[in-house]
Amino acid sequence: MSIDLRANPFFLNDEQISWVKDTLSSMTAEEKIHHLFCLVLYNDDEETCRYLGEKIRPGGFMNRVMTAEQCANAITRMQSYSKIPLLVAANLEAGGNGIIKEGTPLGNPMQIAATADTEFARRLGEVCGVEGSSVGANWAFAPIIDIDYNWRNPITNVRTFGSDVETVKSMGKAYVEELQKHGVAASIKHFPGDGCDERDQHVSVSVNSLSCEDWDTSYGKVYSECIAAGAKTVMVGHILQPAYTRYFSPDIKDGDMLPASMSKELVTGLLRGKLGFNGLVVTDSTAMAGLATHLPREMLVPLTIAAGCDMFLFTKNLEEDIAFMEKGYRDGVFDDARLDEAVTRILALKASLGLPEKQKAGTLVPSIDEIKASLKDPVYKEWSVECARRAITLVKEEKGIFPITPSRFPRVLFCPLDLDGNNANEKTSNGNFKAALEKNGFEVTVFEPLKVTEGAMASVDEMVKKYDIIIYSASVKNNYQPDVRINWSKPQGANIPTLCHTIPTVFVSLANPYHLVDVPHVRTFINCYNGSAAVINALMDKLMGKDEFTGVSPVDAFCGKWDARVSFGPECEGLKNK
């Protein structure tokens, strides 16, 4: 397949094209194969950086979150040990904190979408571009343009812009356009689209089950828009798409279908052919079970390149995966033409980002002073505060519950919920929420279940006398588990909100927006999408009547359940005298 280096998304000039061709011709087959790999770096250890840069010689690497100084050290060392400038990626999904601990946490995509203002997606692109490039990153594994169709999906969730196609399209495009103005390539993900299934690619292969027609008007529409906007790269997921696989291979057997990361039908046929994508294609993490469990490792490693992917993200065993790739090349799983095409796109991406010029000028990584200056922009902090204020969504409201102040509800029974059960220590979002309540004058008691018989609790009369309001705080985030449902306390769900008809009860979610499916009887329900300090501060203002709720839910928070919309039973007894 031919590559137009002058066209979208590369737009190379004559000098840049010459660099790509000259560099490619100077590389041995072994160097080209190693260039297919994008590895991962967890620290700035000099020995590790030297080994990877000089011995392995990958095409790029992803930086996990470090301090700004560690990040700058790691990238400087890696670039100095590499003959060809490296792509440096990060998960810049929600702000500069996706690469550096000091970065701005502007807001995750669903929080951005809840503002109902595309300007915040543009701002997200700016923060990620400015703060990411400040330490030498040049590639963002973002934006996520999955569509959150299935509320049970444990990994898409708040990482998406929601379930509305137009919202996902407009916000994804705004992020791409703004990010790339700052010398950072976007990677729209996860093709052909996550969010239909209820499985997480990290732990199982996922399936996009839409028909070709339905895919075209949803995911296809979003990808087409972002490709036209100039997205330089696409990340391909470990996701089956049976309809389009069969469209390109009508006689294929069900058992022969492959996830997109190994599927020639989906990468070369759909993405390259039908959508006309001319940029670089990278696999999602090849350590994920969605890929790793599908075929023997020796087969799947070279099949990713044969399918049309240009870079292989991460490894299960570094030396072994490289050996598998080399063996696949020798055995003809992919040939010289496919190898040269993949490496050409990698080099073209580097040229389009001006990396050869930066390498020559010694500016691939900014100075420490420049890094510190870029992290002091007060505007970005103001944006994060405004995003938090605009996004918090009041999903259900019991009449008369607001404002929640110490004069009306002085004694709070606080019920923290997370994947481990009850956790309200100071290092958690729940703990920060508890501290904020106390700071604002509430007397807070953390719920502790009675360790006796099933479902046992103090008498209703005792609870009414001791507490004026019950506040649930759920910070249930995906941890590469099959679901993100609430794990109630033992014995027998002792902390389930059973007193909401007697004591005023408010349920706040600091993460997953779908908890109403498990507490449909709760009458006041608030989605925050995030548990950052800015969000908790904004939440307190809204609870206490200092600010209005303005967020618009980007998804169906009722999960399609009619009963979640209803307020059953009599008015809460505890509100009568408040």
Q: β-strands 505-509, 469-474: how paired?
A: parallel
Cα angle: 534, vertex 540, 546; to 5 degrees: 110
Inter-CA distances, 286 with 290, 312, 359, 430, Å: 8, 7, 29, 34
> How distant is the alpha carbon of residue 193 from its chain centre?
13
Instruction: Give the separation between CA 291 and CA 297, rounded to whole angstroms.
Output: 9
Kindly write down the DSSP assignment for every residue of 244-310, as one continuous string.
HHHHH-TT--GGG---GGG-HIIIIIIIIIIS---SEEEES-TTSHHHHTTS-HHHHHHHHHHHT-S
Distance CA 149, CA 157 (A): 9
- The helix/strand/coil state of 219 is helix
Strands (E), 369-468: 393-396, 411-417, 443-446
Asked if residue 322 lies in contact with residue 30, where contact means CB atoms within 8 angstroms, the answer is: no
Nearest-Å Rg of the Cα atoms of the chain is 25
Separation of alpha carbons 205 and 290, rounded Å? 4
Distance between CA atoms of residues 24 and 16, nearest Å: 12
Q: Which two tokens stand for residue 459?
A: 């008498």
Distance between alpha carbon 484 and the CA centroid of its chain, in Å? 15
CA distance 542 to 549: 6
Say if residues 301 and 312 touch (Cβ distance below 8 Å): yes
Measured between alpha carbons, how far is residue 341 from residues 62, 158, 230, 239, 278 in Å?
Answer: 22, 36, 20, 24, 11
What gap in Å lies between CA 107 and CA 544, rounded to an integer?
A: 23
Contact status, residue 330 vs residue 68, Cβ threshold 8 Å: no
Among residues 558, 540, 513, which one has the least CA distance to residue 113? 513
Query: Which residues are catalytic, by number?
Result: 284
Residues 6 or more apart in contact with residue 473 via CB below 8 angstroms: 414, 415, 416, 417, 424, 429, 430, 433, 434, 508, 510
Element containing residue 26 per DSSP (H, E): helix 14-26
The identity of residue 199, as a single letter, is R
Q: Are 460 and 502 in contact (CB under 8 A)?
A: yes
